Amino acid sequence: MSVEPNILILRAPGTNCDHETAFAFERAGGKPVSVHINQLLETPNMVNEFQVLCIPGGFSYGDDIAAGRILSSQLKGDLAKVIGEFHASEKLVIGICNGFQVLIKSGLLLEPDGQGLPATLSWNDSGRFVDQWVHLKADSPKCPFLNGVGDLYLPIAHAEGKFVARNEAVLSALQAGQQLAVKYCNPDGHKGQVAFPHNPNGSQQHVAGLCDSTGRIFGLMPHPERHIDPTHHPQWTRNDLPEKGDGLVIFENAINYFA
């Protein structure tokens, strides 16, 4: 496997975080390539040239119908076979914000059953777009993207980020399977009762990110690519900050997975 993994940054009309995400992977030591969804539909097997598939943030197809719905339909339709083979070959998939919405609504992240998808992402409890910074705790030792990660401080920007499971049985099974990978927490790190604005959308169990049963497909609402340098921090002129922004480790972990 290449020491410098090739990263496929999948974009669609409305995607607007692909450049920042590609820069984050490049800064971490990878070789990102921006690929339009039409290119992938024309040549699906090109995915075999990559080790990581990333669906970045933005508003794919203008979030018509629902956030991420159109792009998710393309992934679970024409591209389902090649992406299934990609995942089965022990490669990595990450979806950020809109990419998380795409992964969960396509069924790639949580496999549907006879009743449909076991969980989804819905409108924020506030009923509006929320743009702020949040405190997070990584909560899944099985997810390679979160290797060695504890606390994170990252920005969010979304209107449909509320994680909702079908029922308590699904929620309990995901918790037991270590799939509730990242959770919102209070500024002091406490995860108990996390109210708005620290849980900015009303997500059940304060979930901010999920992984699949293997840990190798990972989706999260916060934007790690927007905090890879200390100057990205809203208080960078006032605080003595580490040399790296909190989000960079997620991209570094993806690169190190193939080292």
Structure tokens at 100: 């998380």
Q: Do 33 and 7 touch, CB atoms closer than 8 A?
A: yes
Catalytic entry in 223, 227, 232, 233: 223
- Known active-site residue 17: no
The one-letter code for the residue type at 76 is K
The one-letter code for the residue type at 123 is W
In whole angstroms, give the CA distance from residue 97 to residue 39.
22
- Known active-site residue 225: yes
Buried-exposed string 162-190: b where 16+ CB fall within 10 A, e elsewhere: bbbbeeeebbeebeeeebbbbbbbbeeee
Catalytic entry in 17, 54, 97, 185: 97
Structure tokens at 145: 């993207």
In whole angstroms, give the CA distance from residue 164 to residue 207.
9
* Strands 182-185 and 130-138, bridge-based pairing: antiparallel
Catalytic entry in 17, 206, 211, 225: 225
- Known active-site residue 97: yes
In whole angstroms, give the CA distance from residue 193 to residue 204.
11
- DSSP-assigned beta bridge partners for residue 154: 134
The CA distances from residue 223 to 29, 69, 156, 228, in Å, are 19, 20, 6, 10
Reference 121, options 104, 138, 96; nearest CA is 104
In whole angstroms, give the CA distance from residue 253 to residue 201.
27
Q: Which residues are catalytic?
A: 97, 223, 225
